[in-house]
Amino acid sequence: MAGSGGPPEGTPEGLPGGGEDEYRSVVFDESFVRAARLQEFSAQERMGEHARAVRSLPTRHLRTGSRAVLALVVLIALAFAAAVYMGFRHPYQAPVGRRAEALRSTVIPLAPRGTVPGGTAAALFATSPAAQFRTGASGINFPMVRRTDNFSDSQVITALTTVKDYLVASSLDPDVLTGRAIRPVELLLDPDQVSQFDRSMSRPDDDGQHAAAGWLVRFDPAKVALADPGIRVQGTLAYSEEGADTLDVVSDHTFTYALRPAVSGPQPAGGVSLFTVRRELHFRFDREDLRLHRLELRTSYVQAGPQACSADTTGALRPLLAGQRAESRGPAGTDPYATGRPAAALCGALELSAHPSRAPVSSSSPGLPAPTAGSLRSHP
C-alpha cells in the first residue's frame, strides 16, 4: 500500500522517488511566504500602450500649424490687395461714369436738275459713277491697321469690324431698307443711345437728333422697292485715338441703289432708276464698347438723292423714280418772326451725269463742309 505522501497507485514505474523528487530542491519557508506581496494591475495598466486610441498632438506642433495658417491668410490678403491695385492702375480700365452722347444728325436731300433717267439696273450701273464700285459688304474695306499708343491691333480691328457690321446692317440689309426691321441696327448701339434710336424710329423729327435717316437708310415700302439686291458701295474708314480710353472711327461711304416702283405684277420697261446715299458717320468706342461689340454713333451727315427739296425725310427717304422730276421751287423758307426752333432748310442740287459722292453741300450747321465747286449745290 502506498504511503500517505504518494498517489494511491503508488509511485509510477521508472520515476525514482515519484513526483516529489522533482520539486524537492524548491523550499519556501513561512517567512518567505509572508513577505511576498500579491499585486493586481488595473485594466488601464494591463492595456499598456493601447490605452489611448487617439493621441493629442504636442503643443509644439499646434503652434507650428497656427503659424502656417496665419501665413497663408496673409499671403491671400496681399494677393487680393495687389489685384485690386492693378485693377485701378491698369491702363485699359474704362473711365467710370462716362455716358454716350446723343446723336447729332444732318440729312440733306439732293434735288435732280431735270428728269430722273430710267432703264435696266445693269445698264444704269454700267454708265454711272458706281460702275467701279464693289457690290455689298465687299465695298467696305479696312485701312492699314496699326496699334495706337493705348489700343492694340486687335482692339483696332474690333472697332473697325463693329463699324462695318453697323454699315452693313443700316445700309445693306434688305429688311432694314424696306422698313421691316430695325433690330439689327439697334443691337450694335451703346445702351445709352437706344432710347434716342427708338424715338427716332417711332416718332421721327427733323430736330437734328431724331431723324430716322441719321441712323439708317430706309425707304417707304409702299412706294419703292429694290430692283437689284446688288447695292454698289465705295468709301473709306479711318481711326484715331481721342484719349487714353477712347478710340474714334470715321466712315465715309457712298451707297447706290437700283429702285423701282412698289407695284405688283409686270414692271414697265425702263422703270428702274438709281438712288445714291452718301453717309459720313463718326463713331466712338470706349473699352467696354470694344469688349461688348457695340458702338456710339456721335454724328451723322447724310446726302441722298434724287429727292425733292421739300421731301419729308425724317421717317424715310423719298426717292424720285424714273421719269419723275423735282418741283422748281426750292425748300420752304424760314419765318424770322416765328417762335420756336429755327429750321435749317437745306437742300443740294444733284447733277445726274456727275459723281454725287465727293462734292460737299453748304450748311448752316457748324462743322460741316464749306461749299465748293462740284455736282452738289445748295439752294438759298
Residue 317, pLDDT above cutoff 70: yes
**Within 10 A of 115 (CB to CB), how many other CB atoms are there?**
14
pLDDT in tens, 254-297: 999 999 998 766 666 678 999 999 999 999 999 999 999 999 99
Predicted confidence band of residue 341 (pLDDT cuts 50, 70, 90): very low
Cβ pair 349, 376 in contact under 8 A: yes
pLDDT in tens, 89-134: 555 444 445 788 999 999 999 999 889 999 999 999 999 999 999 9
Best CA proximity match to 379, nearest among 117, 116, 112: 112
Residue 77, pLDDT above cutoff 90: no
Predicted confidence band of residue 314 (pLDDT cuts 50, 70, 90): confident
pLDDT in tens, 208-250: 999 999 999 999 988 999 999 999 999 999 999 988 899 999 9
State the Cα–Cα distance between residues 335 and 342, nearest whole angstrom: 8
Buried b (16+ CB within 10 A) or exposed e, 268-307: eeebbbbbbbbbbbbbbbbbebbeeebbbbbbbbbbbbbb
State the Cα–Cα distance between residues 369 and 183, nearest whole angstrom: 32
Residue 3, pLDDT above cutoff 80: no
Give the pLDDT of residue 283. Answer: 98
Q: Is 338 helix (H, G, I), strand (E, B) or coil?
A: coil
State the Cα–Cα distance between residues 12 and 16, nearest whole angstrom: 8
Best CA proximity match to 302, nearest among 327, 282, 274: 282
pLDDT over 70 for what percent of the chain?
A: 66
Give the pLDDT of residue 27. Answer: 63
Give the pLDDT of residue 327. Answer: 77
Predicted confidence band of residue 159 (pLDDT cuts 50, 70, 90): very high
Residue 72, pLDDT above cutoff 50: yes
Residue 362, pLDDT above cutoff 50: no
Predicted confidence band of residue 75 (pLDDT cuts 50, 70, 90): confident
State the Cα–Cα distance between residues 1 and 3, nearest whole angstrom: 7
**Within 10 A of 98 (CB to CB), how many other CB atoms are there?**
14
Alpha helices in 132-173 (DSSP H): 153-171
Residue 340: left (phi > 0), alpha (psi -120 to 50), or beta? left
Give the pLDDT of residue 10. Answer: 56
**Within 10 A of 158 (CB to CB), how many other CB atoms are there?**
18
* C-alpha cell at position 221: 415700302
Residue 318, pLDDT above cutoff 90: yes
Measured on CA atoms in the order 62, 65, 66, 67, is the torsion positive or negative?
positive
State the Cα–Cα distance between residues 294 and 285, nearest whole angstrom: 8
If you write DSSP's letter for every residue of 243-263 in order, what string do you get? Answer: ETTEEEEEEEEEEEEEEEE--
State the Cα–Cα distance between residues 191 and 303, nearest whole angstrom: 27
